Amino acid sequence: MGTIREATILMEGIKTDQSSALRVPGLGNVMELPFNITLVRGFYDWKIVAMPQDAIGFLGYNESDEQRGTSISGGLWLPDAVFDDLWSRIRAGADFDTSLSLKAAPIDSADDIGALFWDRADSNFLFVGGVDFSYTWKRR
């Protein structure tokens, strides 16, 4: 996790929960890809035409190019208090892992048990309707 400026936090990581998959036609399980998500303090209009009004953010698939590899990226706006809590934990240099759980749509159930399906022909983006953070202290 790193900070770009006072009102933005960039989270980078990989999925560690192996209990589910998100399958995309022609791409396989995109949950195995690295991700980067920009977190913004306070409401932000992402200016995506098809985005539901109650969505707080989005995720999209990025193909590899000369500068970066294939990944999932997106952005979320957070209420001031949630953003400030996360920011204060980062600034304090606390020794913890941060987990991020997202509620995104449109996702359908796939034929596999536990697998989800994102049809990019229907929507290039997944829209995020909710987010939960959890913190786990690292043992020294």
Helix and strand counts by DSSP (H, E) for the chain: 1, 11
Per-residue pLDDT tens over the stretch 100-123: 777 877 777 655 555 677 888 788
CA–CA separation, 73 and 10 (whole Å) = 10
pLDDT mean across residues, the chain: 77
| CA dihedral sign, ordered 59, 125, 132, 52 | positive
Q: pLDDT (tens digit, 9 = 90+) per residue, 23-52?
A: 777 777 777 788 888 889 999 999 998 899
**Number of neighbours of residue 70 by Cβ within 10 angstroms:** 14
Predicted local confidence at residue 132, as pLDDT = 82
Alpha helices in 60-126 (DSSP H): 80-91
HSE, side-chain direction, 13 A CA sphere, residue 107: 22
Per-residue pLDDT for 77 more than 90? yes
Q: Which residue has the tokens 């995720």?
A: 59
Query: Is the pLDDT confidence value at 57 over 80?
Result: yes
Cβ pair 38, 75 in contact under 8 A: yes
Mean pLDDT (whole number) for 16-29: 69
